[in-house]
């Protein structure tokens, strides 16, 4: 700016007035300054300007993986919503590991963001409780979160209950859970404090409501992570002679693997085996048959999470906010 001022024969304040389009500069002076700017190739240091203002107009979003469709759709929603507030979104992936999440948080601190949103998967409760951040930090996900943090989660058990109850009500009596896990039911098993555990809990709840006795051999835990895992797990279960007339997949991505395995085995959906997923991804409407799924309103999650983080950035240090996104069942051809 000093170089521009010398070349134009004006003060640095005048250069600042021109660059900020303030009205108290004459046309001839403004023209000289702009000519000097062009000649010198001067660019405003936006980072310095924002640091002086105490904000950088950028928020970090940390997700487990870029290649999972749910998080891709969630990130797209956050980018659009933050743009409405005049902010940019920087997205990084943690690999769903403790080390990855700690590293991403460390990088976020160095990045001088206005706020951070973390989809926590790998960190234990005690490790989350030990986190210290100069920026507002909002947590997404199903892990238990210390009460001092803002937290937005999903009604996982209720969504799974709706899905499995739908399958039982349509006549299924042996509903497998692709991605299911053993959960605490008075037998020493771990408590349902993960996404898979909470959604498996909904499977149990639906059986209790209808009086159908659940068979825990139908918890297909090997299908937990991706469509390919689910395809192998269902194929293996069928090869072992396991009988089921419906499948609840704990994510839509897993459900697509289930559909592929059933097709491979020559089983018809929904006539032989009905299938319901969870997440209601955009691609699920275009499966064959179209996939029934538990709808999680990503728009709701995005809108409320952004509202909370914006309030924190503005200086609101009120009581931590804990929100649960509503869910609903969308019935399509895979279970109709």
40-78: per-residue pLDDT in tens? 888 766 555 555 555 678 999 999 998 889 999 999 999
Q: For residues 18 and 22, what is the distance between their CA atoms, to the nearest angstrom? A: 6
94 backbone dihedrals φ, ψ, rounded to 5°: -105, -10
Determine the pLDDT at residue 47.
Answer: 54
180-203: per-residue pLDDT in tens? 998 765 444 445 568 999 999 999
Dig out the tokens for 162 from the structure.
């709706």
12-37: per-residue pLDDT in tens? 889 888 887 787 788 889 889 889 98
Query: Residue range 281-288: average pLDDT?
Result: 94
From the list 103, 136, 146, 143, the residue with the least C-alpha distance to 119 is 143
117-176: per-residue pLDDT in tens? 999 888 888 999 988 877 899 999 888 889 999 999 999 999 999 999 999 999 999 999
pTM for the model: 0.81
Compute the Cα dihedral for 57, 62, 63, 65 and give only its sign: positive
200-219: per-residue pLDDT in tens? 999 999 999 999 999 999 99
Listed in sequence order, the residues at least 6 apart from 190 whose beta carbon sits closer than 8 Å to its beta carbon are: 182, 183, 184, 197
Residue 178 has pLDDT above 90, yes or no: yes
- Contact between 328 and 162 under an 8 Å Cβ cutoff? The reply is yes
Determine the pLDDT at residue 135.
Answer: 87
Determine the pLDDT at residue 186.
Answer: 47
For the chain, give the percent of residues with pLDDT over 90: 68
Determine the pLDDT at residue 190.
Answer: 44
With 0-12 / 13-18 / 19 or more C-beta atoms within 10 angstroms meaning exposed / middle / buried, residue 14 is: buried
- Contact between 248 and 293 under an 8 Å Cβ cutoff? The reply is no
Query: Residue range 99-117: average pLDDT?
Result: 86
194 backbone dihedrals φ, ψ, rounded to 5°: -120, 170
Determine the pLDDT at residue 158.
Answer: 97
Question: Where do the domains of the chain lie, and which CATH numbers do they carry?
Answer: 2-44 (1.10.260.40), 56-155+298-327 (3.40.50.2300), 156-295 (3.40.50.2300)
User: Are β-strands 115-119 and 137-140 bridged in parallel, bridged antiparallel, or unpaired?
Assistant: parallel
């Amino acid at each position: 700016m000093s170089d521009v001022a010398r070349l134009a024969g004006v003060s640095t304040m005048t250069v600042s007035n021109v660059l900020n389009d303030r009205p108290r500069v004459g046309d001839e002076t403004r023209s000289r300054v702009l000519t000097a700017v062009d000649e010198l190739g001067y660019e405003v240091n936006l980072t310095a300007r924002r640091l002086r203002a105490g904000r950088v107009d950028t928020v970090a979003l940390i997700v487990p993986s870029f290649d999972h469709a749910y998080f891709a759709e969630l990130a797209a929603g956050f980018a659009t919503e933050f743009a409405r507030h005049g902010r940019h979104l920087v997205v990084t992936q943690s690999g769903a590991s403790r080390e990855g999440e700690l590293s991403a948080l460390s990088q976020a601190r160095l990045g001088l963001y206005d706020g951070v949103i973390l989809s926590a998967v790998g960190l234990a409760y005690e490790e989350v409780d030990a986190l210290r951040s100069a920026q507002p930090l909002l947590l997404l996900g199903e892990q238990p979160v210390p009460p001092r943090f803002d937290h937005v989660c999903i009604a996982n058990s209720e969504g799974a209950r709706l899905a499995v109850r739908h399958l039982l009500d349509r006549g299924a009596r042996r509903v497998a859970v692709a991605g299911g896990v053993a959960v605490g039911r008075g037998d020493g098993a771990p408590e349902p404090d993960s996404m898979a555990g909470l959604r498996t809990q909904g499977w149990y709840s639906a059986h209790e409501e209808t009086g159908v006795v659940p068979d825990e051999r139908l918890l297909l835990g090997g299908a937990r992570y991706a469509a390919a895992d689910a395809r192998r797990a269902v194929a293996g279960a069928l090869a072992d002679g396991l009988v089921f007339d419906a499948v609840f997949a704990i994510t839509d991505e897993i459900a697509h693997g289930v559909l592929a395995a059933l097709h491979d085995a020559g089983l018809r959906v929904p006539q032989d085996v009905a299938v319901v997923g969870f997440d209601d991804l955009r691609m699920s409407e275009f499966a064959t048959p179209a996939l029934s799924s538990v709808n999680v309103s990503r728009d709701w999650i995005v809108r409320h999470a952004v509202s909370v983080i914006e309030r924190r950035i503005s200086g609101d240090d009120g009581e931590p906010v804990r929100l649960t996104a509503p869910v609903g069942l969308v019935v399509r051809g895979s279970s109709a």
